[in-house]
Every structure is written in C-alpha cells, then in structure tokens.
Amino acid sequence: MNNDSNYILNIYKTTLSDADFAKLSKFIYDNYGIKLPLAKKTMLQSRLLKRLRSLNMTTFSEYTKYLFSAEGLQNEVLYMIDEVSTNKTDFFRENAHFEFMTNELLPYFLKHNITNLNVWSAAASSGEEIYTLGMVLSEFKEKNPVLNFSLLGSDISKTMLSKAISAIYPETAIAPVPLELKRKYFLRSKDRDAKTVRVIPKLREKVTFQLLNLMSKVYETKMNQFDIIFCRNVLIYFDRETQEKVLTRLIEKLKPTGFIFLGHSESITNMKLNVKQVKPTIFIKGT
C-alpha cells in the first residue's frame, strides 16, 4: 500500500475528541453565533475532514492546535467557517416575499416619493437571493423609470461570496426563475457541455459584495442605511439571545420606515425590537 493510501486510511480513522469539539464549538459560537451541541459532533467532524486533507494533517487534535495558533487564527479560520456554515439558497426562495415587494412594497415607496433604494441581502451566500432581488427591482423599474436601486450582498463565507461575484450557476439552479426572466437576465455558456448560465453584466453591475460577520458588534457596510434588508434562514442557526442581538443591529441599519424580511420559519415573538409586523416575517421599522 503506498503512502497516499495509508494517509487516506489514517485520516478517515481519526475522530474528533469531546475536548477538541468543546474548544471548537465554543469558538464557533463566541465568534460566529452558531450553536453546536454535542449531538452535532459527528457533523462537525465530517465537515472538517476536508480541512485536514488540505493541510495534510491526520488528527483533529493537530488541526485544533493549528487553528488556535497565531497563524491559524489569521489564515485558517475563514476556511473553517466556510465548512461549518450552511449555505442553502435558491432563486425565488419563499417567493411570497418577492410578490409582496412587487405588489405592495415598491408601490408604497413610490407613493411616498422614496425613489432611491438601498437593498441589503445580509446572508447572501452564493448570490441567488441578491440576484433575485435585482430581477424583481429591474422589472419594476422598467414600468417605473423613476426608481433607482443599489444592492449589497454580504456573507461570512469567502467561498460563497466568490461564487456570488462570478454569478455562474448550473442550468438546473435557475429552474425556479420564470421563463421570461431567464431569457432576460441569464446568458448560457458558450461551452454547451458546461450546462451553466451567468447573470447578465447589467444586473451584476448593480450589486456590491462584502465579507461580513453578523456577530460583529458594528456592521460597517458599504452603504450606510437601507430601505430593505433580507436576513432569511440564517437566524435559525443562532440561539434566542444571539438572534435578538443580530436583529437589533440590523434594524439599526434600516432607514426610518425601512423594511426587514426574515425566513418563514423564523420568529421574533417576545423580542424587544423596534419594528412592527406588516405580514408574517415582514416588518417595518418603528418611528
């Protein structure tokens, strides 16, 4: 058996000890707000195996020691959180939110002479949500040219942001996009074997991306205040106390009477927040 085979066997035999799991889970919670109970140890072990392979390490003890070294804290942490964070997203996910924007929210803004909108996808992942917002706003602008908008997509994962910036997706990923919007906003790859599409340049140019940790005490965003914030299906990974802290900071970034959208499985019941509910999971900032 050659050395490569021995290495593969050894790495898959290694296990994450309870002590190392405790150190990692505490660090992840303290710095990123993601709660990992002991029941998640096997999941964390599985996800971090890729990092052990990349670093040519054979034990989690070796990896944990490296992560908490000065070099690891500078170079490895972002790779680690890429593996730990969940990045499930789709075009037009929870479509009722986009229908509300088109039918009620955007007409509301125009009625109140609010024509320059700043829109933030606070957990943008690989970009499907922010480009969906771009399509919705672009379609509305065609019929209402007075509207102008700027889009910001942020995420904790450099890997996901790189995918969002490239805006290249498998053809299967745009299945939820209405046919007329597929034709307007996506270009097929010239390599027909690739079976990929790319968001058109005109829409890509409307979006700015930045790396941002929602656990930061201050959100230093590239735009100062927002008319619309989407923060959907990320709070479910935080405990209740962390959820309230994150939402408080997000609401501080809203303009007066700005709107925030949460995921359909997320609730703010009994939280002390400066918002009023407009629809389920849609809230307006208080005045």
In the numeric block, the tokens 């034990």 are attached to 59
pLDDT tens digits, residue range 113-168? 999 999 999 999 999 999 999 999 999 999 999 999 999 999 988 889 999 999 99
Given a cut of 70, whether residue 6 has pLDDT beyond it is: no
Q: Which residue has the tokens 């991306």?
A: 209
- Domains (ranges, CATH) in the chain? 3-84 (1.10.155.10), 96-285 (3.40.50.150)
pLDDT in tens, 240-269: 888 999 999 999 999 998 999 999 888 898
Q: How remote is the C-alpha of 169 from its chain's centroid?
A: 16
Count of C-beta atoms within a 10 Å radius of residue 207: 22
Task: State pLDDT tens for residues 31-61.
Answer: 888 888 888 888 899 889 888 888 888 889 9
Q: What is the reported pTM?
A: 0.82
What CA–CA distance (Å, rounded) separates 249 from 217? Answer: 8
Q: What pLDDT was estimated at residue 2?
A: 45
Mean of the per-residue pLDDT values of the chain = 90
Active site members:
47, 155
Torsion angle (degrees, nearest 10) of CA 27, 28, 32, 34: -140
Sorted by sequence, the CB contacts under 8 Å of residue 284 that are 6+ apart come out as: 257, 258, 259, 275, 276, 278
